Structures are given as structure tokens and as C-alpha cells.
């Protein structure tokens, strides 16, 4: 490896890991027929003049596998939370009980399961694109160093290292997607 050029592989790996972490958060928000507090994470509520995550206006609980409850702290926010859930596209019909909003999780039919696996595939593909963009950034840094006098052997070595990181991340994405699709299709 060239002493003059040091590719920041830690930065590339950190960025790739961030993309995969983001994918896992998106996967957690996909409904699988079981209740989960993480399925509400992407939902933002119009609260006190700004958009706020649901978990900052109430306590989210999963008292049983097919039920999620939100105990809204401020009684005046119940309507806004209910509206945000209805408009979120989760396909869940909230039921009010005072300041508690109950979200019964319906069984997923085969058609909805198939749709969710396609959505999971789209999430995975956008993460693959992010990983490839990070790879391209690394390769561009290597090409610039080559133009500045890096040896061809060092160039091949660094390119191989970046490609190995990319391949490992793409494999992790594929494995994670496969696991999520199995979970969604499980009846």
C-alpha cells in the first residue's frame, strides 16, 4: 500500500453500515401480521406547530401480538395522532378509548403479503444503490490518487478492498431481505 495515499476505508465502511442500519429500520416498520412499536416509528404527528414522532407524544405499548396501544399524554393531541395513523398508509384502523388509541393488527391476506414483500425489495434495492454510490466515491478517490502518481499495483489493491467491502454489504442486504420476506410470507 502506498504511504502517500491512504483511503479512508473506515469512513466508507461507516457510510455503508449506516445505509444497512437505515434498511433495518425501514424493514422494522413493515407490518408482518404481528404488532410492533417500531411499525409506528416513521409516522409523524403535527404537534405544537411542528412534526413530531409518535413516541414523543405518547407511550407506545404492545400488550398482545395483535394489538398496539398508544397512551397519548396530552388529551388535545389524540385527534392529531389518530389522523396521522389513518393517513400513514399502514392499513390500520385506530380505535379511541379516552387518551388511549388502540391499533388492532388485522391478519395479512396473501395479496397484502405479496405487496409487502415487493416493498421490502424496493427498500433493499434503494440500499444497494446507496452502497454502490459509496463504492463509486471510494473508486473516484482511488482514480484521483492514481492521477496524482499512485502505482498501478496500489490502485488494484485499494480497488479490491473497496469491492470486497461492497460485496460483503450487498450480501448482507440480500440476506436481510430474504429473512424479512420469509417473515412477511409466514402465515
Say yes or no: 60 and 41 in one domain.
Answer: yes
The model's pLDDT over 30-88, given as tens digits with 9 standing for 90+, comes to 766 677 788 888 788 988 889 998 889 999 998 888 889 999 998 999 999 999 888 87
Say yes or no: 114 and 181 in one domain.
Answer: yes
Q: Does some domain include residue 3?
A: no
CATH number reported for the structural domain that contains residue 100 in this entry? 3.30.1360.40
pTM (2 decimals)? 0.69
> What confidence score (pLDDT) does residue 32 get?
67
> What confidence score (pLDDT) does residue 6 get?
80
Say yes or no: 43 and 98 in one domain.
Answer: yes
Which range has highest mean pLDDT (2-16, 57-71, 97-111, 162-176)?
A: 162-176
Which residues, 6 or more positions from 91, have their beta carbon under 8 angstroms from its beta carbon?
Answer: 31, 106, 112
Say yes or no: 117 and 167 in one domain.
Answer: yes
The model's pLDDT over 129-149, given as tens digits with 9 standing for 90+, comes to 999 999 999 999 999 988 988
The parent domain of residue 49 ranges over: 34-104
**CA separation for the pair 157, 39 (Å, rounded):** 43
CATH number reported for the structural domain that contains residue 165 in this entry? 1.10.132.20
Amino acid at each position: 500500500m502506498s504511504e502517500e495515499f491512504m483511503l479512508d476505508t473506515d469512513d466508507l465502511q461507516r457510510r455503508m453500515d449506516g445505509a444497512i442500519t437505515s434498511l433495518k429500520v425501514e424493514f422494522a416498520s413493515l407490518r408482518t401480521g404481528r404488532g410492533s412499536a417500531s411499525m409506528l416509528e416513521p409516522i409523524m404527528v403535527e404537534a405544537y406547530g411542528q412534526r413530531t414522532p409518535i413516541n414523543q407524544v405518547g407511550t407506545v405499548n404492545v400488550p398482545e401480538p395483535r394489538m398496539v396501544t398508544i397512551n397519548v399524554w396530552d388529551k388535545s393531541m389524540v385527534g392529531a395522532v389518530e389522523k396521522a395513523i389513518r393517513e400513514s398508509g399502514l392499513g390500520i384502523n385506530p380505535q379511541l378509548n379516552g387518551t388511549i388509541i388502540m391499533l388492532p393488527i388485522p391478519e395479512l391476506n396473501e395479496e397484502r403479503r405479496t405487496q409487502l414483500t415487493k416493498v421490502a425489495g424496493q427498500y433493499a434495492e434503494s440500499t444497494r444503490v446507496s452502497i454502490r454510490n459509496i463504492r463509486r466515491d471510494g473508486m473516484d478517490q482511488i482514480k484521483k490518487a492514481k492521477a496524482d502518481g499512485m502505482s498501478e499495483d496500489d490502485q488494484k489493491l485499494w480497488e479490491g478492498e473497496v469491492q470486497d467491502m461492497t460485496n460483503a454489504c450487498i450480501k448482507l442486504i440480500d440476506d436481510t431481505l430474504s429473512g424479512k420476506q420469509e417473515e412477511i410470507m409466514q402465515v
